Amino acid sequence: MADMQENVSLHKPAEKNHPVITNVGYETKKHGHCDISDLVLVKYKCQAIGVPVTTSNGSTLPLVPEAVTDTESGYDPFQHRRVPHSTTNFETLIHLLKGSLGTGILAMPLAFRNAGLFFGLFATFGIGFICTYCIHVLVKCSYILCQRMKVPSLTFADVAENAFLTGKPSLRKYSGFARGLVDLFLCVDLLGCCCVYVVFVSKNLKQVADFYDYKFELSLWMFMLLIPLVLLNLIRNLKFLAPFSMIANVLTGAAMAITFYYIFYGGLPSIHEREPVAEWHCLPLFFGTAIFALEGIGVVMPLENNMKTPQHFLGCPGVLNIGMFLVVSLYTGFGFFGYLKYGDTVDGSITLNLPPEDILAQSVKVMIAIAIFVTYSLQFYVPMEIIWKSVKHRFTSNHGAYENGLRVFLVICTVVIAALVPELGPFISLIGAVCLSMLGLIFPSIIELITYQAELGKISYWVIFKNISIISFGILGFVTGAYTSIDEIIQKHFASAAAATQ
C-alpha cells in the first residue's frame, strides 16, 4: 500500500467532490502511512454501489468520487435505490405479517402458562413494544450509515460492520467480528428454527397416526422426514420456492382459523380458574417463548430495502407500527384464550391439544405439519447462503457438488439435533432466549450507541441509560432463559428415560 500512486487520471465528476484515491494518496504522502480502516471503507463503498476496483502497480485503487462530508452532504439513500421489483406499502405489510406469523403463535398459550394469565397479557405487549422499538433503532441507524457510507441500502450484518467501521478508531478493528457475530446468531437462530420445525411436524403427524394405530417412535418420524427435507432443500433458487410459500400461507391461515374455532367451541372457563401470575422460576421460559414468537428483526432489513417508498416504513402510523401492532395483538389473543381454554394441560403447540379423534382437528395437524415442512426450506435458505459464502473460496472447483454436500450435511444436523432434543416448549424458549435476545435487543442497542457517538460526537445520558437498560434486559433474558430452558430439557429427558424403562 505504501507505494500507492498519488496521481491518477480521472474524468471530472459532475459534482464538486474529489476522488477517494486522491484522499488516500494525499494522506499517504502527508503521514507516510495509510490507515487500513480507510482503505476498507473505500473498498466496501465501491463494492456496495457497484463501482469496479482497478489495480495499478500492484495496488488496489477504487475509482469512485467521494463527497467532502458524510451526512451533511445531503445524500439520500432512498433516492439512489434501484430495486427491480419494489414492493408497495401494503405488500410490505403483508410480507411483514407473513414473516412474523409462524410456529411461535402456536406456542403462545404455553408462554402464558409460564407467565400467568394477566401477567402474560401485559408482558407480551411490553416485550412487543420493546422489540418494535429496537427495530426502529436498527432501521434509523441503517439510514444514518447509508448516508455516511453513501450506499443505498445495508443488511443487518452490514449495519453492524459499518457501525464499528465508521465509529471510534479503537472500535474499527472489531468491525469484522461484529459482522461475524450477527451472521453467527442469524445462522444459529434460523437453523434452530429448522430443528423446532422438525420436532413440530413429527409430533403433529405422530399424534394423527397414533389414533389410527400406526404407532412409531417420535425419533423415527423425524428420520422419515430426512429424505424429503434433503430433496426439498436441494432447490437453490428462491423463485422456485415461492409456490411452496404460497401453499404454506394458505394452510397456516386455515389451520389457525380452525384452531380458534376449537378454542371458543363449547365456551371458555372462568378467568378465576387460571393463575393470574405464574411462579417466578417459570418467567424465563415465558420470555424465551414470547421473544421467539414476536421477534421479526431478521426479515426487517430485506423488507425495508425492497420498498418502493421506504420512508413510509417507520413513522406514525408507518408500515412497521401497523404490522407489529397486528402481530402483537394476534399473538396476545392467541396466548390468552388458548391458556384460558386448556390451562396447565396446554402443550408446546396448541394443535396438540385439539381432540385427536375429530377429523377436523386431525386435518388441522396435517395442514400445519405440511405448512411448517414447506417453511423449513425458506428458513434454511438464509443460513445456507451465509455459511456457503464464508466457505466457498476454499473450493477451487465443483462448487455445485460441494454446495449440495453442505446442504445435505446441514439438513442431517438439524434432524439429529431435533431427535436429541424433542421437547418442543423448552427448545423454542432456548432459541428465543439465546439468539433473539442478542439479535433483537442487544445488537441494535450497541449499534445505536456506536452510530450516534460517531454521528454527534457526544450522546445524551438518556440515550446511554436507555440502551444500557435494554442491553441489561437482554442479557438477563439470555442468561436466565437459556439456563431455565436447558434445565427443563434435561429434566424432561431424564423423566422420559425413566418412564421408558418402567
pLDDT number for residue 14: 43
Which is it for strands 53-56 and 59-62: parallel, antiparallel or unpaired?
antiparallel
Q: What DSSP designation does 315 have?
A: S
Domain locations in the chain? 95-501
Tens-digit pLDDT profile for residues 20-34 = 433 444 444 344 444
450: number of Cβ within 10 Å: 23
Q: Is the pLDDT of residue 334 over 70?
A: yes
Return the top range by mean pLDDT from 47-56, 361-370, 391-400, 418-427: 361-370
Return the top range by mean pLDDT from 26-35, 248-257, 335-344, 488-497: 335-344
For the residues 452-477, what does the mean pLDDT come to? 86
Cβ-Cβ contacts under 8 Å for 197 (sequence gap 6 or more): 103, 372, 373, 375, 376, 379
pLDDT number for residue 473: 92
pLDDT number for residue 502: 63
Whether this model's pTM surpasses 0.85: no
pLDDT number for residue 201: 92
* φ, ψ of residue 141 in degrees (nearest 5): -65, -35
Tens-digit pLDDT profile for residues 337-364 = 999 999 989 988 898 999 988 999 999 9
For the residues 102-113, what does the mean pLDDT come to? 86
Residue listed under C-alpha cell 424432561: 492
pLDDT number for residue 80: 76
For the residues 296-302, what does the mean pLDDT come to? 76
Q: Is the pLDDT of residue 49 over 80?
A: no
State the average pLDDT for the chain. Answer: 81
For the residues 486-502, what does the mean pLDDT come to? 75
- What are the helix (H) ranges across 69-174? 77-80, 89-100, 103-106, 108-113, 117-149, 156-165
With bands split at pLDDT 50, 70 and 90, how would you rate the model's confidence at 205?
very high
pLDDT number for residue 250: 86
296: number of Cβ within 10 Å: 25
Query: Can you list the pairs that 270-277 forms with residues at least 24 positions away whose Cβ atoms lie under 8 Å?
Result: 271/117, 271/340, 273/343, 274/116, 274/117, 274/339, 274/340, 274/343, 275/116, 275/117, 276/116, 276/117, 276/118, 276/119, 277/115, 277/116, 277/118, 277/119
For the residues 317-344, what does the mean pLDDT come to? 90
CA proximity to 229, closest of 336, 84, 122, 379: 379
Amino acid code (one letter) for 327: V
The Cα 77–Cα 143 span in angstroms is 7
| Sign of CA pseudo-dihedral 303, 307, 310, 312 | negative
Domain covering 95-501 in this structure, CATH number: 1.10.4160
239: number of Cβ within 10 Å: 8
Q: If you compute the radius of gyration of the chain from its CA atoms, what whole number of angstroms results?
A: 25
Tens-digit pLDDT profile for residues 184-199 = 998 998 898 899 899 9
With bands split at pLDDT 50, 70 and 90, how would you rate the model's confidence at 35?
very low
First-last CA distance in the chain: 72
pLDDT number for residue 238: 66
Return the top range by mean pLDDT from 72-81, 125-134, 422-431: 125-134
For the residues 317-335, what does the mean pLDDT come to? 89
Tens-digit pLDDT profile for residues 215-235 = 899 899 999 999 999 998 888
With bands split at pLDDT 50, 70 and 90, how would you rate the model's confidence at 73?
low
For the residues 3-8, what does the mean pLDDT come to? 42
* φ, ψ of residue 146 in degrees (nearest 5): -65, -40
Tens-digit pLDDT profile for residues 259-285 = 999 999 888 999 999 999 998 888 888
Amino acid code (one letter) for 60: T
pLDDT number for residue 490: 86
